[in-house]
Amino acid sequence: MTRRDVVRALGALGIMGAFPLPGLAAGRGEAPFSVESLPALEGELTLYLGRGEGGLYEDVINAIRDRNPGLSLQVRRGPTVALANTIVAEAEAGARQADLFWAVDSGSLGLVSDAGLAQPVPEALGAGLREGFRYESWVPVSGRIRTLPFNSDRLSLEQIPEDIMALPETDLSVGWAPAYGSFQSFITAMRLLEGEKATREWLLGMKARARQYAGEFGVVMGVSRGEVDLGLANHYYTLRLLSGQPDAPVALAMTRDDAGSLLNASGAMALTERPLAMDFIRYLLTAEVQSYLASEAYEIPMVSGVDLPEGLPSEDRIQPPELELTRLADMRPTLDLMRDAGVL
């Protein structure tokens, strides 16, 4: 698929008018689905949508609606974890309402999957996904990597440890957002990989040198203003800042093979046996939608052959740990640990 094909197909989806795409590289191969190859969606669906990505997910949904006038799509919005709990509670009460769940983190998907409410993903649907991101009950839509954004006027890349567990041993000031869901998933990953004792010690060691922010874009802004040396944040906050302020003194560092480089994902699952739900998910995996989310939201495309967002560190520096993402649903021990350490 050429860039012209991508642009034309996005126009057909109704996305291009409001959000022009920047230049896209050629990609490494064909995506398994294109918008033009998919059947029309007809019928009624109810989608539970976790809040996220500044309305870009809403733009994708509206584009799908515009292309499929025979689709009657009802959308319920809310925090991802709250919606996951609602789906489980409704099922237990015998009052299922959601046909689809699009969550901004894999832990919430794991919670619903563990309750036995998700439909199995057809093998053909998962065939084009990146290696290591194929699941039986849900489909990853886009990814986000934990990173260490740092102030490039103060530090060089070589001054930042490549082991997240070594960070408390440095004299660096750090910005973090403990109340933010992605941070809590990161701590859950640390707890699963390193154990509760080591995670508690890490939190206590970091607490003395950390400055708290309400969200992770605030963390990156604090780094750029020199309020802290570096921060803990998903990669796309830095890329979005640099897209608007290319001269901001912020760069990305990454740890290797630990919770500090966790590659988490948003994803979707079908909660009904009706094929219409899985057909809707197919739209989210088209080259057009994946390219749009990569170029506008700076998220990691989950489909092979779609380029990584511009400004992301080279792939040889991206070394996430091996961790079954749905295990991140085990959040309660993490919250207890964070409260015990006094960071929540």
**CB-CB contact of 209 with 172 (8 Å):** yes
DSSP 223-249: HHTTSSSEE-EEHHHHHHHHHH-TTSS
Residue 268 sits at φ, ψ, to 5 deg, of -130, 150
What's the rounded Cα separation, in Å, for the pair 344 and 341?
A: 8
User: Residue 97: what residue type?
Assistant: Q
What's the rounded Cα separation, in Å, for the pair 238 and 236?
A: 5
Write out the binding residues for Fe cation.
Answer: 236-237
Write out the binding residues.
Answer: 236-237
Which residues 6+ apart lie within 8 Å of 323 measured at CB?
A: 189, 192, 193, 262
Q: Are strands 250-253 and 174-176 parallel, antiparallel or unpaired?
A: unpaired
Q: Given CA atoms 323, 324, 329, 330 in this order, what sign does their dihedral have?
A: negative
What's the rounded Cα separation, in Å, for the pair 318 and 314?
A: 7
Report the Cα–Cα distance between both ends of the chain, in Å, rounded. Answer: 47
Q: Which DSSP letter does residue 23 get?
A: -
